[in-house]
Amino acid sequence: MDELSQHNVVLQAEPGAGKSTVLPLSLLDSRWLKGKKIIMLEPRRVAVKSIAYYLADKLGEKVGERIGYQVKNDRNISEDTVLEIVTEGILIRRLQNDPELKGIGLVIFDEFHLRSIQSDLSLMLSLEVQQTIRDDLKLLVMSATIDTGMISRYMGGAKVIECSGRTFPVSVSYAVPNKNSIVTQVSEALNIVLKGNASGDVLVFLSGQADINRCISKAKETVDTNTEVLFLPLYGSLTLAQQEKALVPDPLGKRRIIFATNIAETSLTIECVTCVIDSGLEKILVYDPISGMTRFETQFISKASAEQRKGRAGRTQAGQCIRLWDEHKHRSLNDFQLEEVLFTDLTSVLLELYQWGVGRYEDVYWLTPPPKPNYESAKKTLIILGMIDIDNKLTDLAHQALGLGLSPRLSAMLLQAKGTTEQGIACDLAAILSDRDIFHNGSGVDITDRLLAVQAYKYDRKSALNSYPLKRSGVEQLIVSSVKYRRRLKLDERIPIFSLADLQGLVGKLLLYAYPDRLAKKRNHSDGRYKLSNGRGVFLFEDDPLFGSDWLVVADCDAQKEGGRIYSANSISTESVFDSLDEKIEERDSFVFDVTKRTIIGRKIKKYGALELSYKMLSRIPPEVFQNCLQQVVKDNFFDVFNWTNQCDDFVSRAKWLGEHIDGFPKISKENIINTLDQWLLPYLSNVDSIQALRKLNIFDLLLGYMSWDDKQTLSREAPEKYTTPSNKILPIIYDEQKGPTVSVQLQEMFGQVDSPMIGGGRVAIRFELLSPALRPIQTTSDLRNFWRTSYFDVAKDMRGKYPKHRWPDKPMLEKAGRSIKM
């Protein structure tokens, strides 16, 4: 890797090549570093510690000497450390606090194919540092599966190096398409593997924690094995200690079945795995820019990810990979993973960019540009949180938030809490909301319940575990996080215990600091549906303890257009809503048309976002306000409030038809009439003082004023209302949008009418629907001359048998038009 002394490098190395475990050690004593340190970024927390211990062991040292690491709530670095293995967020904070990266000579971006948004941002900022103030800083991007050309171009022509790996061959088999659940498919595949002759551990890739738990339960019931096996989970929310159990062989030699998310796809070395069963699925968190909320979606992985997963079976010996999809599906997979920046919440990233001095979307040097609506939605969220001001600059609150290492929402809550009690509760709240649920599934959504459980655990751990559905590892991690937040707020680090009295009234208020756009108001009294202040609808299950609460603050829910499920919330009293929102409440007069009462009603309403908080009826509506409302009512309910007659409909139909057939004739339709009310109608409403008075207006006479005198003459001539038959019978012409101008007439009335009359400037023949004596259609034609010469005789022959007393002459043109019955 001498190339690094001169260039940035993009390294594409196959699994087993030693990207994470051999290369960093070989770089420690590079002369070109000139005594500077190396930072290596790992996108997964568990990989950081695992690699650090592995590398330190290779050097015969303890972690914290030349090899150190730092992750959330865990740091082991000393003055002797020359290689720091960190998560991306750690580097971003260091760049913001020390843009020169003093003492750092090389930044390594490992497993960059994962393309987390933090990795993208870290590389973006590092490149700018290198190009502006640290031309001696070197950057190394590594992955087994990566678009090297794109990354190289982004890095200004970085040197691309490819390296083969040292993996053993892995046979791949594909499943036959079936409709069984993924749990059943995994169970069946496991039975096949365990009944075979192969040895070694099995790694099962699944989309998420729920599938892992279901598959483990199913496997324990159905997997048939003659030897004892261990079923082990591996996913992100487990503690590092729990995750490490899945990474090392069982000391008693038991065979392990490891059920993992894509956390096990790269970086981690899971010894003794010889078989991979791959569901082909992964779960991603997708951001909805309209609601400002996220939702989990399960999707198929990319071909690159499938290769990464397959490679886990060939690290120590030849292995096998069973893919639970067919080859046709495999060919349709994307080549690479979708970049996280395309579907994630950009709020934290945008805050970092603003601090970096780049606030405009167009000014950011994106590796992959995110959707512009997601960027604008993130900006809107920061404005709502009070972190971007009217001058498009960061506020003092934002600058303080950047130092907390939390999301902007939770930072807003911590920083706006007042007094030590509020701040202490806010720290516990932030810890609860920033990690996985500390309660087991099916334990309701109430955040206060979780807070009370945490206080009970602080007081008496054993009693709390018996009284609440707590996950012990989760609550232990929560307390560590809470203490860390207390430290950052410069509070006493001793762990306080808050009473129910402390919590009541404060939790909802604190949550509103974090989720001001997610205040929820109950829609009615029975079905658990709520409307959020951002306009979206959410629901609460009937068996939830919070069901029936008038007001909620929602911390987590599905980002559905309507009816997203609430996962985490807290009730809040009406009094607290008004006290907390205070100056944010908008008060205004509202005037609406009551369809039932057919009148305009006035209300003084208090609103917050899309929510109506309260209202009072107004006894009097000022005349000028009434006129404005009246005009809006007319626009919104035109055909209901006026005496719109068939005559009006016929006029519009004729005019619309003629406008489509004669150049220069005005384009008239119901839509145009509504859109031009201010030109032909509204001036006549100035003396109208009630909705009822509108029906007394002759709307047809006013409608005629829509058209000039010349146009009315043209309309009368080229789109006449009536047609006169040869027998002088006057019939209406129906201007049907589909069929055109049509006259329904008894056939005998048309004797003597040789040709079809032409209208529309002589371009369109009237269509005749010729009727039997029973007034049923027997023939339709727009060409009477041809009808009399041809099909008339077939019609007459048929009708003579049905209606012998009526006239069906052989020479209809010589007959007198008129009555149907023979005289």
Q: List the single range of 3-7, 96-100, 328-332, 539-543 with lowest mean pLDDT.
A: 3-7
Q: Is the residue at 627 inside a domain?
A: no
Q: Is the residue at 257 inside a domain?
A: yes
Query: Are 281 and 148 part of one and the same domain?
Result: no
Task: State yes or no: pLDDT of 820 exceeds 80.
Answer: no
Q: Is the residue at 583 inside a domain?
A: no
Residue with token string 């409440």: 585
pLDDT at 821: 79
> Nearest CA to 735 among 659, 786, 666?
659
User: For 372, what's the count of Cα atoms within 13 Å in the CB-facing half-sphere?
Assistant: 4
Q: Is the residue at 273 inside a domain?
A: yes
| Sign of the torsion formed by the C-alpha atoms of 752, 754, 758 and 762 | negative
Task: State yes or no: pLDDT of 561 exceeds 60.
Answer: no
Q: Is the residue at 10 inside a domain?
A: yes
pLDDT at 736: 92
Query: Are 805 and 712 part of one and the same domain?
Result: no
Q: What's the rounded Cα separation, in Å, for the pair 822 and 432?
A: 95
Q: Is the residue at 618 inside a domain?
A: no
Query: Are 101 and 32 part of one and the same domain?
Result: yes
Mean pLDDT along residues 294-299: 83
Mean pLDDT along residues 569-576: 93
Provide the terminal-to-terminal Cα distance of the chain, rounded to the nearest Å.
113
| Sign of the torsion formed by the C-alpha atoms of 25, 31, 33 and 36 | positive
Q: Is the residue at 612 inside a domain?
A: no
Query: Are 183 and 311 part of one and the same domain?
Result: yes
Query: Are 35 and 184 part of one and the same domain?
Result: no
* Contacts (Cβ under 8 Å, ≥6 apart) of 360: none
Q: Pick from 132, 163, 194: which residue ends a domain?
A: 163
For 641-692, what is each residue's pLDDT tens digit?
A: 888 999 999 999 999 999 999 988 988 888 888 888 888 888 888 888 788 8
Q: Pick from 163, 194, 213: which residue ends a domain?
A: 163
Confidence of residue 294 (pLDDT cuts 50, 70, 90): confident
Mean pLDDT along residues 54-73: 92
Q: Are 735 and 654 in contact (CB under 8 A)?
A: yes
How many of the other CB atoms lie within 10 Å of CB of 318? 14
pLDDT at 395: 96
Confidence of residue 88 (pLDDT cuts 50, 70, 90): confident
With 0.85 as the threshold, say if the pTM is over it.
no
Mean pLDDT along residues 491-509: 87
Partner residues linked to 294 by β-bridges: 287
State how far Cα 392 lies from the chain centre: 26
pLDDT top residue among 507 and 6: 507
pLDDT at 392: 92
For 577-601, what is each residue's pLDDT tens digit?
A: 999 998 899 999 888 878 777 788 8
Q: What's the rounded Cα separation, in Å, for the pair 225 and 641?
A: 78
Q: Is the residue at 350 inside a domain?
A: no
Confidence of residue 553 (pLDDT cuts 50, 70, 90): very high
Query: Are 728 and 684 part of one and the same domain?
Result: no
Mean pLDDT along residues 15-24: 83
Partner residues linked to 174 by β-bridges: 323
User: What does the mean pLDDT of the chain come to?
Assistant: 90
Query: Are 6 and 143 part of one and the same domain?
Result: yes
pLDDT at 177: 81
Task: State yes or no: pLDDT of 560 exceeds 80.
Answer: no
Q: What is the DSSP letter of 61?
A: -
pLDDT at 707: 87
Query: Are 223 and 81 part of one and the same domain?
Result: no
Confidence of residue 715 (pLDDT cuts 50, 70, 90): very high
For 328-365, what is each residue's pLDDT tens digit?
A: 999 999 988 889 999 999 999 999 999 999 989 999 99
Mean pLDDT along residues 495-521: 91
Please give the full DSSP string across 255-295, using - where no structure is assigned: EEEEEE-GGGSSS---TTEEEEEE--EEEEEEEETTTTEEE
pLDDT at 235: 86
How many of the other CB atoms lie within 10 Å of CB of 779? 15
Confidence of residue 1 (pLDDT cuts 50, 70, 90): low
* Contacts (Cβ under 8 Å, ≥6 apart) of 372: 361
For 221, the domain range is 170-342
Task: State yes or no: pLDDT of 381 exceeds 90.
Answer: yes
pLDDT top residue among 566 and 504: 566
Amino acid at site 503: L
Number of domains in the chain: 4
Residue 755: helix, strand or coil by DSSP?
A: coil
Task: State yes or no: pLDDT of 627 exceeds 80.
Answer: yes
Query: Are 241 and 311 part of one and the same domain?
Result: yes
Residue with token string 């009944």: 195
State how far Cα 567 lies from the chain centre: 16
Q: The sheet that has 611-617: what strands, in order across it?
A: 586-594, 599-608, 611-617
Task: State yes or no: pLDDT of 562 exceeds 70.
Answer: no
For 214-245, what is each residue's pLDDT tens digit?
A: 999 998 888 776 668 889 999 877 776 777 78
Q: Pick from 718, 733, 759: which residue ends a domain?
A: 718
Task: State yes or no: pLDDT of 113 exceeds 70.
Answer: yes
Query: Are 672 and 728 part of one and the same domain?
Result: no
pLDDT top residue among 295 and 630: 630
Partner residues linked to 277 by β-bridges: 204, 322
How many of the other CB atoms lie within 10 Å of CB of 2? 8
Q: List the single range of 393-407, 448-462, 490-504, 777-791 with lowest mean pLDDT.
A: 490-504
Confidence of residue 306 (pLDDT cuts 50, 70, 90): very high
How many of the other CB atoms lie within 10 Å of CB of 707? 18
Confidence of residue 611 (pLDDT cuts 50, 70, 90): very high
Q: What is the DSSP letter of 726?
A: T
Confidence of residue 250 (pLDDT cuts 50, 70, 90): confident
> Nearest CA to 307 among 192, 194, 143, 184?
143
Confidence of residue 320 (pLDDT cuts 50, 70, 90): very high
Q: CATH code at 209?
A: 3.40.50.300
Q: Are 428 and 449 in contact (CB under 8 A)?
A: no
Q: What's the rounded Cα separation, in Å, for the pair 650 and 733?
A: 9
Query: Are 150 and 200 part of one and the same domain?
Result: no
Q: Which of 102-116, 227-241, 291-305 has the highest mean pLDDT?
A: 102-116
Query: Are 295 and 179 part of one and the same domain?
Result: yes
What share of the chain in percent tops pLDDT 90?
Answer: 59
